[in-house]
Structure 1
Amino acid sequence: MKQFLLFFSCFLISIVSFAQEGDVKANIINAEDDSPLQNVHVLNLNRVIGTITNDKGDFSIPAAVNDTLFFSYLGFKSIKIRVTNDLLKNPGTKIQLTELAYTLEEVILQPFELTGYLEIDNKYVPVERNYRYSISGLPTGYEAGSYSPGAITRVLGAIFNPADLLHNMFGKKPKQLRKLRKMQEEDQIRNLLTTKFDREVLLEILELERNDLDEILQHCNYSKSFISTANDLQILDALSECYEEFKVLNRK
């Protein structure tokens, strides 16, 4: 009798485990007219894997119960969905995305006293240059922002006085760092990040706030210009470089 109960318990556990993991197969449509949406990026934030929808709006992605799926599409509001048993067991579920409504605000252009002659006018247009400094022993350089006599001093100060913020990020969050490495290896995610500038995917996967992300990059001596204009893939690579350099300094 005891053997039968043990076998029955194992059988039930296997059924439950099977039901809790598999492939989510669903269909993405426009909430406005129910038309299928092609090339929607679908990311499993827990497993750091991604895929895109086909021309019929269909996709399939490995997931387990309680994983979070993140949907991103240009011109539409990004959404997150928690995976349930019903979602795993019912392929073809319709998921709606809503178009974003953009309001154009008044733009005030700061006037320059231009003459119409390029040779003269280009002297009045401000140009911001960012400089990177190579440090012996480290694989990459540091960006110090606009050139100034004290720029290299700020770089060396940042390197030889590691900030608590970097320790908190790189020393106490191994899960986020594993995700960081996975993001660099996943082609679908890298392709998505090249087209994005809003840091939305990075913040969701790394579980960071926007202010924290900017502060980390500033402590790694990336200029404000780079932080505000780089695409999300460049930011991902910058974070990775910063982490690798932090490991080198920590070993020393």
Structure 2
Amino acid sequence: MKKLFLLSLFFISTIALAQDVEVIDGKVLNSATDEPLENVNIVNLNTVKGATTNLEGDFTIKAQVNDTLYFSYLGFKSIRVRVTNDWLKFGDIKVKMTELGIALEEVVIKPVELTGYIEVDAKLIPVYDDYRYRISGIGSGYEGGDNSPGAVSKVLSAIFNPADFLYNVFGKRPKQMRKLRKMKEDDEIRNLLQSKYDRETLMAVLQLEKVDIDEILNKCNYSKNFITTANDLQILDAISDCYEEYRVLNRGKE
């Protein structure tokens, strides 16, 4: 009887929590002109669900009171907005974003001057040798090449003691890693990350600094070239692959 009572209480609590989650509406505007902003990316940092504004700057997203929404848009300062009771009560809320003044540094592009002789030109064209070494039973492998000269020795050491360095990276961040898996399942967020290179959304959701993300990738044997040039979706998948390796190895260790 006691078990039945507890089970009933659990289902009632679950239903109550589910009812608190609502679809809220809003509009994103340029704070200087009050013009609507299209294709602004919104991420609920609590549920790890994403949305995008339409042509009129309007958006809808599932949220509940005290959830934090993260707004990001190219050329504008990213902001966080807390969902309040008033938002749920009165509906449509206007969110204003401030434009950034971006001064681009002068970039000098040096063309590759070809001679027309294959033997000579083959040596002039830059080649980036980033290789992935795969060890059976350890996920997607390890990256080597000119930018990661110690990759082979890292791979060999991983064979003998593969989970130690991964534990320090992931073992102390279980909450962030759960959010990582949710990010991979949300198409809106994946589409957002595919066009971004600033790591801002990853930092906001995972509660990590950029230096922490770089450290994780470095310890997972990704090259410096990959870390600096990959888009945010590639970084997400790289961290996720490394985390899955950790989970498999740690399970065996336990």
Q: Same fold (TM over 0.5)?
A: yes
Question: C-alpha separation between the residues in 2 aligned to 1:18 and 1:250?
Answer: 33
| Cα displacement (A) at 1:37 | 1.4
Single out whichever of 228-237 and 120-129 deviates more from structure 2: 120-129
Per the alignment, residue 57 of structure 2 pairs with 57
Q: 1:74 to 1:159 in 2, by over 3 A?
A: farther
Q: 1:89 to 1:106 in 2, by over 3 A?
A: same
| Cα displacement (A) at 1:60 | 1.6
The answer to whether the 8 Å contact 1:145/1:222 transfers is no
Question: C-alpha separation between the residues in 2 aligned to 1:104 and 1:198?
Answer: 15
Matched to 1:50, the amino acid is G
Q: Secondary structure at the match of 2:204?
A: helix
CA RMSD of aligned residues (A): 2.7
The answer to whether the 8 Å contact 2:130/2:143 transfers is yes
| Cα displacement (A) at 1:216 | 0.8
Per the alignment, residue 12 of structure 1 pairs with none
Q: 1:130-173 deviations in whole A, cap 9, x for unaligned?
A: 11111122342211232888642222224544476632342222
Alignment of 1:95-244 (within 5 A): 95-108=95-108, 114=113, 117=116, 119=118, 120-146=120-146, 151-162=151-162, 166-244=166-244
Show structure 2 runs of 5+ residues with no match: 1-16
Question: C-alpha separation between the residues in 2 aligned to 1:218 and 1:39?
Answer: 33
Per the alignment, residue 66 of structure 2 pairs with 66
Single out whichever of 122-131 and 226-235 deviates more from structure 2: 122-131
Question: C-alpha separation between the residues in 1 aligned to 2:189 and 2:66?
Answer: 21
Matched to 2:135, the amino acid is I
Q: Secondary structure at the match of 2:144?
A: strand
Q: 1:62-100 deviations in whole A, cap 9, x for unaligned?
A: 222221100112222211112222222222221111222
Show structure 1 runs of 5+ residues with no match: 1-16
Count matched residues: 235
Normalising by structure 2, what TM-score?
0.82
The answer to whether the 8 Å contact 1:145/1:225 transfers is no
The answer to whether the 8 Å contact 2:147/2:223 transfers is no
Q: Secondary structure at the match of 1:145?
A: coil
Q: Secondary structure at the match of 1:212?
A: helix
Alignment of 1:241-252 (within 5 A): 241-252=241-252
The answer to whether the 8 Å contact 1:45/1:67 transfers is yes
Q: Secondary structure at the match of 2:27?
A: strand
Single out whichever of 58-67 and 195-204 deviates more from structure 2: 58-67
